[in-house]
A and B are shown apart, each in its own frame.
Chain A
């Protein structure tokens, strides 16, 4: 697997590294910045290092460079063998997430502040180049050093103060969770209030053409569980039958039941490792012992043929002899009038360096964001079946750049929104039963439904 893991700053200089196999000379990492430039698929190699055009796997002189970028850092693994490169990359990704968890924000400064704890983590997370543990909760239980976050005040980094008294006795002992069968939960957890919150969140990604036809759409659903439950609670989650059947078909890989038009087509059902898959298939039950705190219990993807665009966009742009632009956007909330969407944000791309924008609009607020080159049209709330228009007049810089004037029109409009109280896939939570066999306490489940835009809810314009 990996021979050595490096953290490099944005110019490719090492901040710290952990060597696991000692079979790669330190000259190899010095070559990395040069390689990045050489192999940049962006023909003109003059560009900066950060343009992200170089593939994440490079090789030179028998050394393979597998890296990813995080903010202004390169996290790089080197290896000599034809090893499982994919696993290494996934490990680096998990590494970033673990460190983010520890340091709040992973950047040059925080690496320097916490180099000692990072070494300790690197030591635990990988042994002889093979990934070991990347689960934050487990790691937190036996990495004893405290991290120094950029915001908190001084605390000696060797101090072993920890909130709560139970953990003190376990210091520097691997928690039973590392080798236990239920690796995601330690025994002996006690909470004052026993509560469980279920969030059903569906993010919709959609690509819409100028005629308001859907080019592609996908619903990514997630059921998130946030629980503060004592002991080893046994939970059973009940969903509506139609959705459940479709899930089981997806897991078993049977073709979707297609007797009615309204059937749900669920794909890629994924459970948190705590869910008993056997029971799910045989008894149609989602039963599990949850990890303490937050977890992604269940995720799925739905292809819905009946899904319609949530918002209809009409877009026109007029160029007045390359000195002035007029952009008109009309938005229509394409859902029933009793429903409303919150936090609608429409990002309308404009050319760079436009001047003194003037707006005419009948709802929301408008703002020019120069660093994104967009005009942001924000609605606090928009009711169904309503229609609003805005017109933005922009002065163009005196030296008009033809290219720029074409470019901004190729960028799709991006929409963000959130709707509460329902989800579009047809999923319904029927019940959440909580039972702790030994303690038998009372507990309260809460359920919330949220439909929102994914990262890519976009409308192309002509």
Chain B
């Protein structure tokens, strides 16, 4: 039998009596172990009553800990969970742990590490007093790699607490870690030291992690010799290296490139991050590495075979790259065609990528696929694919005909939600190509009764107002909508008011419209409470009664040309997001500053090798070298680790959110 029978909630007092009963019996150790497990289980499920039992637990630890490592482990675990609330009692366990360390340090790496880890997570002065010398001892070169790794993490864990207590010892520990970077041969230990230092520097205002070029090359070369997670850590630390010349950056890319083929997805993505980052420092990177697009696309294809969650994160990063550096990839759009059983969020993301990858050449294939999705049963998927077709019509002029004929095809079935969604995209299409797709308008107007959802209604009303003179039924329809105006949501009311006035200024002598305008204005000004609506009505009223000759220019100005170029992200945002591959920011597709208030955003640091090249268009490989090379002002107040170099600047906040919203289909 397993331990699941122990999974019951127990009262602390019951456990206490149980313990006292067993005290006298023989074989009490077996019973006490069972009781300990019960305590830990209650702790696991979040029942904190067992906190009261701390002295019992420390007793079990000192009685049975030396012989049974499972008991020792569970007791340690208990202590790290509850020391905050029972500091006094926790102190009783300290001699045991120190003794545990002393007896095991030569013989058992695992026990030694366990002792160090436990002490590092208990932040009481006495514990720290004992721990610091232990750490200093454990970080020495002759100690085994596993212990040194654990000790490195322990330094990171206690660093902030210890800073207040004994800054001097903190300096010593820090220097030990720093020395490890340079002198250590065991790559997995180096990676632990790097992780620890990064942890420390990220939380500190005065410390910075920087890596010089010799060291960066050494790190990259050590990748072969260490385990998968050490590789992840080393790869991400390469982002702290600022290449001063093209050669080093190119060399590093060359070294890192094979890791795009790794089995561990995390290594793949971190290698990708390094490659993208370093590509900023290599002039004409695609001429130097013609393999890049193929390698990266291959890596992406492999990530798409992983479980859904990983696929999703990987694809978010693909979007990121597509927004700024599509030239770095050579993706086959068919990779992103939806499988029938993909989860909704996967389908969503795939649609976004299909939208971004669509171009004139593959449009037939894309439209056929999107049309397939638009015939699915899942309403959300249908709406999203229609939205995508509409957006494509606006994005690529040459294919607008094809897109619109697909849309026209779709509404011919008169399925309500299809018509509604087409109504929404039609507004932008009509704006972009005035006069070109009147037949789409007619198809919609014929099915206007099917439209009930507010957003679609608003859209169709806008169309009726804007093109009233070319739609024969427009007045009749506007009138019909006006009859129920007060029951509509405000958004629709505003749109309707404007549409009626627009129709009127276009056909000022139409009696029917004149009446409609009068009634509507009266109705709105008298019967509505919404200030915006009422004021807009008054505004129109005055404008019309002033009989200005140019009223039409105010009410129905010539539409601004729909500019699709605004979809592009500002270079600053792209730069920042590019450095965020694999992080949370890449998943939310928002700059760091918007997600994390206190985190310093990363920027590319200027160096003689930094080039700004255009990787936007897949064909053009233009480049602009930065004209001036600014001299870096070194911030002298800060303590530098390794070589001096990093400057992190704060970036202002952007409206990325809006742009992303525009790009992504309706959520």
- The contact of B375 among A64, A132, A410, by CB within 8 Å, is A410
Please tell me if the beta carbons of A90 and B262 are within 8 angstroms of each other in the complex.
no
In the bound complex, do residue B2 and residue A113 qualify as a contact, i.e. CB atoms below 8 Å apart? yes
Q: Is the interface of B mostly helix, strand, loop or mixed?
A: helix
On chain A, the residues within 8 Å of B348 by CB distance are: 41
Give the contacts of B1-44 with A (CB-CB under 8 A): 1-4, 6-7, 33, 37, 40-41, 44
Check if A86 sits within 8 Å of B599, measured CB to CB: no
**CB distance A83 to B153 under 8 Å?**
no
B68: chain A residues at CB < 8 Å are 158
Determine if B390 is an interface residue (Cβ-Cβ < 8 Å).
no
For the complex, is A179 an interface residue (Cβ under 8 Å from B)? Answer: yes
- Contact check: which of A135, A158, A254 meets B227 at CB < 8 Å? A135
Interchain nearest-CB distance for B533 vs A (Å): 28
Residue B496, interface by CB 8 Å: no
Q: In the complex the two chains form, is A84's CB within 8 Å of B344's CB?
A: no
The proximity string for A residues 364-395 relative to B, scoring 1 for CB distances below 8 Å and 0 otherwise, is 00000000000000000000000000000000
In the assembled complex, B578 has its CB within 8 A of some CB on chain A:
no
User: Looking at the complex, which one of A14, A59, A132 makes contact with B229 (CB distance below 8 Å)?
Assistant: A132
In the bound complex, how far is the Cα of B586 from the Cα of A84, in angstroms? 10
Which of B6, B199, B227 meets A128, CB within 8 Å? Answer: B199
Within 8 A of B (CB), among A106-137: 109-110, 112-116, 119-120, 123, 127-128, 130-135
Contacts A132-B229, A134-B228, A179-B146 hold; do A119 and B302 have CB atoms under 8 A apart? no
- A230, CB-defined interface residue at 8 Å: no
Residue interface bits A14-44, CB-to-B below 8 A is 1, else 0? 1111010110001000000000000001110
Q: Does A313 contact B (CB under 8 A)?
A: no
- Determine if A251 and B258 form an interchain contact, defined as CB atoms under 8 angstroms apart: yes
Count of A-B residue pairs with CB < 8 Å = 266
On whether the beta carbons of A90 and B110 are closer than 8 Å, the reply is no
Task: Report the bound CA distance from A69 to B265 in whole Å.
Answer: 18
- Verify if B295 is at the interface (C-beta below 8 Å from A): yes
In the assembled complex, the CB of B535 is this many whole angstroms from the nearest CB of chain A, namely: 34
Q: How far is the CB of A209 from chain B (nearest CB, A)?
A: 9
Q: How close is A36's CB to chain B, nearest CB, in angstroms?
A: 12
Contacts of A251 in B (CB 8 A): 258, 261
Of A14, A42, A172, A252, most buried by chain B (CB within 10 Å of CB) is A172
Q: Check if B550 is an interface residue, CB within 8 A of chain A.
A: no
A113 B345 Cβ-Cβ under 8 A: no
> Across the interface, do B44 and A15 meet the contact criterion of CB distance under 8 Å?
yes
Asked if A304 lies at the interface with its beta carbon under 8 angstroms from chain B, I say: no
Q: Mark A242-267, 1 if CB is under 8 A from B, else 0.
A: 00000000111110000000000001
Given A81-B596, A82-B596, A128-B157: A22 and B121 within 8 A (CB)? yes
- Flag whether A458 is at the interface (Cβ < 8 A): yes
Find out whether the CB atom of A215 lies under 8 angstroms from the CB atom of B232. no
- Answer whether A296 and B186 are a contact pair too, CB < 8 Å, given A41-B348, A148-B3, A179-B145: no
Q: Which A residue sits closest to B300, measured CB to CB?
A: A268
Q: Across the interface, do A57 and B45 meet the contact criterion of CB distance under 8 Å?
A: no
Q: Are A270 and B302 in contact (CB under 8 A)?
A: yes
Convert A430-457 into 0s and 1s, putting 1 for each residue whose CB lies closer than 8 angstroms to a CB of B. Answer: 0000000000000000000000000010
Q: Is B55 an interface residue (CB 8 A)?
A: no
Q: Which residues of chain A from 249 to 298 have any CB-CB distance to chain B below 8 Å in the complex?
A: 250-254, 267-273, 277, 296
| Contacting pair B307 A130 (CB below 8 A) | no
Are B377 and A55 in contact, with the CB atoms below 8 A? no
Tell me whether A267 and B298 are in contact (CB under 8 A). yes
Do the beta carbons of A268 and B302 come within 8 Å of each other? yes
Q: Chain B 587-627 against A: per-residue CB contact (8 Å), 1 yes, 0 no?
A: 11000100110010000000000000000000000000000
Q: Which of A166-198 contact B (CB under 8 A)?
A: 172-174, 178-179, 181, 183
A301 to B264, CA, bound (A): 17
A267-B301 in contact given A116-B37, A410-B376 (Cβ < 8 Å):
yes
Give the interface size bracket for B toward A: 35 or more
**Best-surrounded residue of B156, B186, B312, B313 (most CB of chain A within 10 A):** B313
- The reply to whether A216 and B334 form a contact with Cβ atoms under 8 Å apart is yes
Q: Does B644 contact A (CB under 8 A)?
A: no
Across-interface contacts of B153 in A (CB, < 8 A) = 127-128, 130
A54–B301 Cα distance when bound, in Å, is: 23
* Residues from chain B with Cβ under 8 Å of A68 in the complex: 307, 309
Report the stretch among B69-77, B167-175, B512-520 that lies at the interface.
B69-77
Please report the C-alpha to C-alpha distance between residue A13 and residue B583 in the assembled complex, in whole angstroms.
27
A229 within 8 Å of B (CB atoms): no
Nearest CB on A from B503, distance (A): 34
A94 and B229 CA atoms in complex are apart in Å by: 11
| Complex contact A116–B232 (CB within 8 A) | no
In the bound assembly, the distance between CA atoms of A21 and B196 in angstroms comes to 13
User: Contacts of A52 on B, CB cut-off 8 Å?
Assistant: 308, 343-344
Closest chain A CB from B309 CB (angstroms): 4
Q: A14-B45, A82-B595, A410-B375 are in contact. Are A174 and B667 (CB under 8 A)?
A: no
Residue of A53, A158, A268 touching B70 (CB-CB under 8 A): A158
List the A side residues contacting B40 at CB < 8 Å. Answer: 115-116, 119
Q: B490 contacts the other chain (Cβ, under 8 Å)?
A: no
- What 1/0 flags go to B195-207 for Cβ under 8 Å of A? 1100100100000
Inter-chain contact A456/B584, CB cutoff 8 Å: no
Bound complex: CA A68 to CA B345 (Å) = 13
**Is B3 in contact with A133, judged by CB distance below 8 angstroms?**
no
CB neighbours (8 Å) of A21 from chain B are: 157
A84–B313 touching, CB < 8 Å: no
- CB of B524 within 8 A of chain A? no
Give the interface centre of B40, B229, B257 by most chain A CB atoms within 10 Å: B229
Cβ-defined partner of A119 (8 Å) among B74, B196, B312, B584? B74
Chain A proximity of B558: nearest CB distance (Å): 38
Contact B262 A131 (CB under 8 A): no
CA distance A344 to B59 in the complex (A): 64
- For residue A410, which residues in chain B have a CB less than 8 angstroms away from its CB? 340, 375-377
Cβ contact within 8 Å between A54 and B4: no
| Cβ contact within 8 Å between A252 and B156 | no
Q: Does B498 sit at the interface, judged by CB under 8 A?
A: no
CB of A93 closer than 8 Å to a CB of B: yes
Contact of A53 with B310 in the complex, beta carbons under 8 Å = no
Contact A87 B44 (CB under 8 A): no
Closest to A148 in B: B2
| Chain A residues with CB below 8 A from B298, complex form | 250, 267-268, 301
B575 near A: Cβ within 8 Å? no
Bound together, the chains give a CA A179 to CA B148 distance in angstroms of: 11
Residues of A contacting B232 with CB < 8 Å?
84, 87, 131
Q: Within the complex, which residue of A82, A116, A253 is in contact with B580, where a contact is CB–CB below 8 Å?
A: A82
Encoded as 1 (CB less than 8 Å from any A CB) or 0, chain B from 95 to 115 comes to 000000000000111110010
CB-CB under 8 A from A309, the residues of chain B are: none
Selected A-B contacts with CB under 8 Å, 21 pairs: A14-B45, A16-B44, A41-B344, A55-B312, A57-B584, A87-B582, A112-B4, A112-B6, A112-B41, A115-B37, A120-B73, A127-B153, A128-B196, A131-B232, A133-B229, A134-B228, A253-B291, A273-B263, A299-B263, A410-B377, A458-B339
Can you name 8 extra interface pairs (CB under 8 A) apart from A57-B587, A82-B596, A150-B2?
A69-B309, A82-B595, A85-B586, A86-B269, A148-B1, A172-B110, A268-B301, A273-B263
Chain A residues near B (Cβ < 8 Å): 1, 13-17, 19, 21-22, 26, 41-43, 52-57, 59, 62, 64, 67-69, 79, 81-87, 89-91, 93-94, 109-110, 112-116, 119-120, 123, 127-128, 130-135, 142, 144-145, 148, 150, 154, 157-158, 172-174, 178-179, 181, 183, 207, 215-216, 220, 250-254, 267-273, 277, 296, 299, 301, 403, 406-407, 410-412, 456, 458, 460
Interface residues of B (CB under 8 A from A): 1-4, 6-7, 33, 37, 40-41, 44-46, 68-70, 73-74, 77, 80-81, 107-111, 114, 117, 120-121, 144-146, 149-150, 153-154, 156-157, 186, 188-189, 192, 195-196, 199, 202, 225-229, 232-233, 236, 257-258, 261-266, 269-270, 289-292, 294-295, 298-299, 301-302, 305-310, 312-314, 317, 334-335, 337, 339-340, 343-345, 348, 372, 375-377, 380, 580, 582-588, 592, 595-596, 599, 667
